[in-house]
Amino acid sequence: MSKAGSLPAAGLSPAGVPFLGELLARKRTLVMGILNVTPDSFSDGGRFFDPQKAIAHAQDMVAKGADIIDIGAESTRPYGGAAAVSADDEIARLADVLPGVVALGCPVSIDSMKARVAQWALDAGATILNDVWGLQRDPDMAPLAARSRAPIIVMHNRDKADPAIDIMADIESFFTRSLGIADGAGVRREQIVLDPGIGFGKTPEQSIEALAKFRTLKKFGLPLMIGASRKRFISTIVASEPDERLGGSIASHLLAVIDGADIVRTHDVPETMQALRVAAAIRSAR
C-alpha cells in the first residue's frame, strides 16, 4: 500500500533471514508483531513473561502473517510507572526467549534503548534495532548501528509531554538531531526507519495530531513506521481499556498507511493483516 523512500540493503542475513530492506522492496506494508517479555508493559504485561508462552506467541504471530517480531524486555510504556531494568536483567529476560524466536526464521528486531542489550541481541540472531530514544539516550547505540549495519528504527520521544509545544516541529527537530548523530557515527541513511512515537512524550491530542500530519514526515525520504496499537489516545475518543482498542488501532494504522507508513507495529497481527489486505485490494480495484 506504500512505497519506501531509501531502502536498507537487500539480501539475507548469515542465517538466511531477510534483511529489512529486502522486505521493504516487496512494495507492501510490513506488519511487525509485538512481543513483550515484561511483567509491566501497558497492554500485555505479564502475559508472555514465561519463555515458553512468549515463544509460542511469536510462533502464532509468524503463522498469522507477521513479517517481523519485535521483542522487548523492558517496559517503555508511554505513561510512566514502569520499573527501570538493568542491562543484565534485560538480557536475562531475553536469554530463554530470543534464540527460540530467532529459530522461527522470521526477522527479529530488538526493542531496547541500551546498546549493550542490542549488541547481545544481534549476536543472538536479531537483525533490526529498535531504539525508542532515537539514538539520543545511549551514546553507544549509533556506533553499534554503524558497525553492525543493522537497520535501526529511530523513534521520537520526550521525557515528559508538554501540551504547549508544536508536536510536529518537535518531532522533526528530534529526527534532525538523530540523523546528525547517525551521520557522525557513520550510520548509513539507508539503514534508518523513522517512527513518530505515538503516545511517547505526547498528550493524547498530540498523538492524534501526529497521526493526522504523519504524511509530513515523508520529507525525510526514509521509510516510516507507525505504532498506534492500543494506545491511550484511543480511549480519549471512545472510552476503552487497552485490550478493547482494536478498532481504534486499525483505524489509526490504515490512515497512516494511506499517508505513507511502510511498517505497522501491532499487538494484533491477524486482524491488522486482514485490514491491510482488504484495504489494499479495494485501493487496487480503483
Residues involved in catalysis: 231, 265
Distance CA 139, CA 152 (A): 14
Distance CA 91, CA 163 (A): 36
Distance CA 80, CA 155 (A): 17
Alpha-carbon distances of 223 from 8, 101, 115, 190, 227, rounded to whole Å: 9, 25, 22, 9, 14
Task: Tell me whether residue 194 is exposed, middle or buried, using C-beta atoms within 10 angstroms of its C-beta: 0 to 12, 13 to 18, 19 or more.
Answer: buried
Query: Is residue 175 within 8 Å of residue 156, measured between CB atoms?
Result: yes
Distance CA 135, CA 126 (A): 18
Contacts of 183 (CB under 8 A, 6+ apart): none
